Amino acid sequence: MTGRNGANFSPKIRSTLAERVGYLCSNPHCRIPTIGPSDHTSETAKRIGRAAHIHAAAKGGPRYSPQQTPEERRSAANGIFLCGNCAGMIDQNNGMEYPAEMLLDWKKIAEEEQKEAFISGNPIFSSIWRQKIHYLNYINIPRLELECLRNGYKIKNIPKITGWLYHMGQQTGIITASFQGILTRIDIASIDIEKIRYPDDNKYKDNLIGAIISFNENFRTKNGVHPPVLRGAPPTLTGDIEKDPHIYYENSFLKLIMPYDPRWITTSTAFGDFRPSSGQQKMTGLAVIKNVAGSNIIASPIVLGFPSNPLMEAFYGRTNNVRTISISEDDI
């Protein structure tokens, strides 16, 4: 990123590049904030962002363009704002894996998202979901498998599930452990439910449909079912929210309603999470938005779980070295 021959970005250009994307990393698979409070004093801020060159500042650098003039090389048009990690990543192997066209697309998307958030007052940009899960109590296997594929992970030997996940015995634990391990590795971009404002606003309502949301909230539960005794077919959802099992969460701006398919509940303990005696249960996870009606957001859960915390990690131990598990009947 350091330019030679006078092709460094000026402080004004660096600030402009950062401001145009709200000091967020422009990599659509990252989008982390790059500025925040210092850990040591209340008088300063911590910055991890960098103004990176799309075409290198000097000959021999990543994506160098001999057609550019020195003025063009140090202009805002030749810059993209990234976090420090992504700024270094795009220049590895002389930038061969990150061509200029890709970086220009990143920049365009990041600026358009920030413009939309600025105009509407609704920060509907995505960020990578990093919430740790203590245990999974709900796994929509086909949908989560699709997200894994999008992130470069193919889950091998997934057994055919014709009934309840709960009835698969030991294999349920193998499946749960496999997906929980992979969730610590893949980067799933999502919108934090707390960052959505006025979902029925036509300015961005259509952008929410199909989006993945993340959450870590206290949910109320309704129409929960008991663990099935027999290995029969799962109940058919009616589409009537008054009858179907669902969980819901409300804040000042919206009500999130998530009907769920009981066949994807993992254990008998998990069934209890969907029928708590208090009527509320803390849950974290991901869901895909299906519809927006007024302030109501209807979403289909992809994965739900009980959130981890430092006390749990200290008691149960951390799982930093997670290995991918091949799901197979032979493993039982």
pLDDT the model gives residue 79: 97
Per-residue pLDDT at 321: 44
Domain co-membership, 215 together with 151: yes
Q: Looking at the structure, tell me whether residues 217 and 94 fall in a common domain.
A: no
Residue 211 maps to a domain: yes
Cβ atoms of 260 and 246 closer than 8 Å? yes
In this prediction, residue 24 has a pLDDT band, given cuts at 50, 70 and 90, of: very high
Residues 20, 66: Cα–Cα separation, whole Å = 27
Lowest mean pLDDT segment, chosen from 22-36, 52-66, 72-86, 243-257:
22-36
According to DSSP, the β-strands at 79-83 and 296-307 are: unpaired
Residue 298 placed within a domain: yes
Query: Is the pTM higher than 0.75?
Result: no
Q: Which of 108, 146, 87 is nearest to 302 (CA)?
A: 146
Same domain, 60 and 188: no
Residues 159 and 93 both lie in one domain: no
Is residue 321 in a domain?
A: no
CB 90 within 8 A of CB 103: yes
- Quote the mean pLDDT of the chain: 83
Same domain, residue pair 66 and 139? no
- Domain identity same for 172 and 72: no
Report which of 216, 86, 48, 188 is spatially closest to residue 128, judged by C-alpha positions: 188
pLDDT at residue 260 in the model: 95
Q: Are 160 and 110 found together in one domain?
A: no
165 lies in a domain?
yes
Encoding tokens for residue 80?
């993209």
Give the range of the structural domain holding residue 154, as residue numbers without chain letter: 133-316
Residue identified by tokens 């993340």 is: 214
Q: Residues 177-205: what's their mean pLDDT?
A: 79
How many residues are listed for the chain in this entry?
332
Give percent of the chain with pLDDT exceeding 70. Answer: 86
In angstroms, rounded to a whole number, what is the distance separating the alpha carbons of residues 266 and 134? 14
Three-state secondary structure call for residue 15: helix
Q: Are residues 227 and 273 in the same domain?
A: yes
Distance CA 58, CA 106 (A): 22
CA distances from 283 to 190, 205, 250 (A): 16, 25, 14
Position 180 confidence tier, pLDDT thresholds 50, 70, 90: confident
Amino acid at 150: R
Helix (H, G, I), strand (E, B) or coil at 217: strand
Of 63, 93, 120, the residue that ends a domain is: 120
Is the residue at 300 inside a domain?
Answer: yes
SS3 199: coil
